[in-house]
Amino acid sequence: MNRSKYLYLNSRDEFFRVDISKIVYFESEGNYTNIILNNKMMATICMNLARMQEILNRSLNDDAAVFARIGKRHIINLTYVYHIAILRQILVLSDGENFEYQLQISKDALKRLRDMYVSDITAEFSRQ
């Protein structure tokens, strides 16, 4: 049975229940965090990105591994990484069919992200 895992976010004035598989990325705007979903909906919550990262880790436990902090302004869902363009400083997040988001990310952050994927691929090939 395919069970969705949800992230629950509660503030003084608002409550959000979000299926984590639908979250494409989080983007910081000062003391606020935008949550961008794969259906192009966006929610804004009064919380900085560092606090959001803590909540993800605490609330989702092992499921939080699908998210990674990329640079100062973003937490991304790793399942949606489609293209890493280091020289142009662009990260494309897409499901390959319904949506595409292009984010401006620093070269260093993109290199670390690419290296993470390359090391995973290399480890996979060495196990075979």
Q: Tell me the C-alpha distance between 24 and 40, whole Å.
A: 9
Longest CA–CA span in the chain (Å) reads 52
In a domain, 1, yes or no: no
The rounded average pLDDT for each run of 10 residues, N- to C-terminus, in the chain (128 residues) is 76 90 96 96 94 94 94 96 97 96 97 89 65
In a domain, 99, yes or no: yes
In a domain, 24, yes or no: yes
Q: What angle do CA 82, 116, 62 make, to 5 degrees?
A: 90
What is the pLDDT at residue 1? 38
Residue 47, domain extent: 6-127
In a domain, 62, yes or no: yes
Q: What CATH number should be reported for the domain holding residue 91?
A: 2.40.50.1020
In a domain, 51, yes or no: yes
pTM of the model: 0.89
Q: Tell me the C-alpha distance between 95 and 51, whole Å.
A: 27
In a domain, 115, yes or no: yes
What is the pLDDT at residue 117? 87
How many domains is the chain built from?
1
Tokens of 50: 């560092």
Tokens of 110: 């993109």
In a domain, 29, yes or no: yes
Burial annotation 100-117 (CB, 10 A radius, 16+ → b, else e): ebebebeeebbeebeeee
What is the pLDDT at residue 122? 65
In a domain, 123, yes or no: yes
